[in-house]
Amino acid sequence: MQSTLVDVLLATYNGSRYLEAQLDSILAQTHQDFRVLVSDDGSSDGTLAILDRYRSRFGARLVLVPHPGAGRGVIRNFENLMAASLQDGMAGWVAFCDQDDVWLPHKVERTLAEMKRLEGDDGDTVPCVVHTDLTVVDEHLEVLGASFARHQRINPGDCSALTLLSINQVTGCAMMVNRALLKMALPLPSDTVMHDWWCALIGGSGRRSFVDTPLILYRQHGANQLGAKNRSLVNRLRRLGTDGPGVLRRVRRLGRETYSQAQALQVRLRELGLDDGYVAGYLAWRDAPWWRRLANYRKYYVGPELDRWSRLLFW
C-alpha cells in the first residue's frame, strides 16, 4: 500500500500565545498519517515547554529538528524544515504551517486528495503545488473575512507562472508541495523574498491547483510576520495619507526584491534544464522604461488597478 505520510512543517519563534490551539487543530485532523517537524528559531518564551508537553499526545509524530542557524529568520527556519523532510525521505508531501493559525479538521485530507489528483502518475518527477482559501479571523478567532481571497481582492485560481513573478497569490500556510518540488526548490537562494513564494515560482514549471474552500482560520494579530491587510480603496488611500513615504519605500523595496528573485529563478531553471524563456521576457520587460511597459502592464501585474499602477510607476 502506498504511503500517505504528510510532513507538517511548523516553524516556531516565540509563539507560546497561540501555539497550543494550532497543535490541537493538527491533532484533530481527519487524515492522521502525518508527522509534525518543528524547527525553532531561538524562542525565549514558553514555546519549547509547550512542545515538550505535547510530546505525549503526538508520540513519535512530533519531531524537533535541530536548527544550526537559529536567529536567521522565518525563511531559513522553513528551509531547515524543508531540507530535513527531503533528506529524511519518508513523506511524499509537505504542508507549511504557521504557529498562530488554526487548521480546520479536513485541511490535510482535502489538500492531499487534490494533490494526488494533480500528480496523477507523475508525482516523482513533476513539481506540484496545492493551495487553498482561508478564513480571516482576529486574535480571538472571530471572523473578519469568510474568504481571504475576497478579503484581499485577489483571484488565486487565476494566477500564472508569469504573474507570480510580481505578486504571490499562493499563501504559504495554506499550501502543500510534493517531493519533486522540494528537490528543485532547495537550497533557497539568497534573493528569496519568502519561502512560500519561491516554492510557488518553482511550481510554475509543473502543476498548481487552488482549492476554493477555506480550510484554515488565518489569525490576525499584532505580531504577524505577514498579514491580511484591508485592501479596500478607502483604507489604502488612508494608509497613503498617514504614511505616504513609508508606503513608497515598501513599494520600491518590493520592486527590487521581485526583480532579484526572478533573476534567481532564471538561474535555477537553467541549472535544472527547464524553460526560462518567460522569466527572461519578464526581466527584459522590467528593464524597459515605464512608458514602453504601459501598453501591456496588465499582462504582468494582476490585482487591483492601484497596485498595477504603483508597480508600473515605481518598479
| 224 domain-assigned | no
Burial track 232-263 (b if 16+ CB lie within 10 A, e otherwise): eeeebeeeeeeeeeeeeeeeeebbeebbebbe
Q: What is the pLDDT at residue 153? A: 85
What whole-number distance in Å separates Cα of residue 87 and Cα of residue 96?
Answer: 17
Domain boundary among 161, 192, 219: 219
Domain tally for the chain? 2
Closest residue by Cα to residue 296 from 279, 306, 282, 315:
282
Q: How many CA atoms lie within 13 A of 173 on its CB side?
A: 29
* 130 and 182 together in one domain: yes
pLDDT tens for 253-289 read 999 999 999 999 999 999 999 999 999 999 999 999 9
pLDDT tens for 113-155 read 999 999 999 988 999 999 999 999 999 999 999 999 998 888 9
| 225 domain-assigned | no
- Confidence (pTM): 0.92
Three-state secondary-structure class, residue 111: helix
pLDDT of 245 over the 60 cut: yes
* 103 and 137 together in one domain: yes
Least confident of 216-220, 225-229, 256-260: 225-229
pLDDT of 224 over the 70 cut: no
* Strand 128-137 to 175-178 pairing: antiparallel
The CATH number linked to 98 is 3.90.550.10
Domain boundary among 194, 219, 244: 219
| 228 domain-assigned | no
* 301 and 263 together in one domain: yes
| Host domain of residue 131 | 6-219
Continuous segment of H or E residues that includes residue 96:
strand 93-98
Q: What is the pLDDT at residue 196? A: 97
Residue 1: pLDDT band (50, 70, 90) is: very low
Count CB-CB contacts under 10 A for residue 285: 14
Return mean pLDDT, the chain: 93
Average pLDDT over residues 85-113: 97
